[in-house]
Amino acid sequence: MKLVTGNSNRALAEAVANHLDLPLTDCTVKRFADQEVHVQLHENVRGEDVYILQSTSTPADGHLMELLILADTLRRSSVRRITAVIPYFGYARQDRRAVGRTPISAKLVANMIAGTGVHRVITVDLHTDQIQGFFDIPTDNLYSAPVMTRDIQEHYDAKNLMVVSPDVGGVARARAIAKRIGTDLAIVDKRRPRVGVSEVMNIIGDVSGKSCLLIDDIVDSGGTLINAAEALLKSGAKEVSAYITHGVLSEGACERIGTSSLKELVVTDSIRETEAQRQTPNIRRITIAPLLGEALARTAREQSVSSLFS
For residue range 66-106, what is the model confidence (pLDDT) as tens digits?
999 999 999 999 999 999 999 999 999 999 998 899 999 99
Kind plus residue range of the DSSP H or E element containing 202: strand 197-204
Residue 189 and residue 219 share a domain: yes
Residue 207 and residue 108 share a domain: no
Residue 296 and residue 273 share a domain: no
Query: Which residues, including other chains, have CB under 8 Å from residue 101's CB and lie 6 or more apart?
Result: none
Band the pLDDT of 168: cuts 50, 70, 90.
Answer: confident
**244 close to 271: Cβ distance less than 8 angstroms:** no
Please give the pLDDT value at position 193: 59
220-242, pLDDT tens digit by residue? Answer: 999 889 999 999 999 999 999 99
Residue 184 and residue 100 share a domain: no
Residue 135 and residue 152 share a domain: no
User: Between the CA of residue 251 and those of 178, 222, 227, 274, 289, what are the distances in Å?
Assistant: 31, 10, 18, 10, 26
Mean pLDDT of the chain: 95
Residue 247 and residue 151 share a domain: yes
**191 close to 198: Cβ distance less than 8 angstroms:** yes
**226 close to 259: Cβ distance less than 8 angstroms:** no
Average pLDDT over every residue of 286-294: 98
Please give the pLDDT value at position 195: 61
Residue 198 and residue 130 share a domain: no
In this prediction, what percent of the chain has a pLDDT beyond 90? Answer: 91
Range of the domain at 175: 145-287
Q: The CATH number of the domain where 261 resides is what?
A: 3.40.50.2020
Distance of alpha carbon 114 from alpha carbon 95, whole angstroms: 17
Residue 67 and residue 191 share a domain: no
Kind plus residue range of the DSSP H or E element containing 39: strand 37-41
Residue 273 and residue 295 share a domain: no
Residue 150 and residue 281 share a domain: yes
Residue 60 and residue 38 share a domain: yes
Average pLDDT over every residue of 289-293: 98
- Does residue 123 surpass a pLDDT of 60? yes
pTM for the model stands at: 0.95
The angle subtended at Cα 20 by Cα 18 and Cα 21, nearest 5°, is 60
Residue 63 and residue 49 share a domain: yes
DSSP 8-state secondary structure symbol assigned to residue 224 = H
173: helix, strand or coil: helix
If one counts the domains in the chain, the total is 2
What residues are labeled active site? 190
Q: How many helices (H) and strands (E) does the chain have?
A: 9, 14
Average pLDDT over every residue of 34-56: 97
- Does residue 196 surpass a pLDDT of 60? no
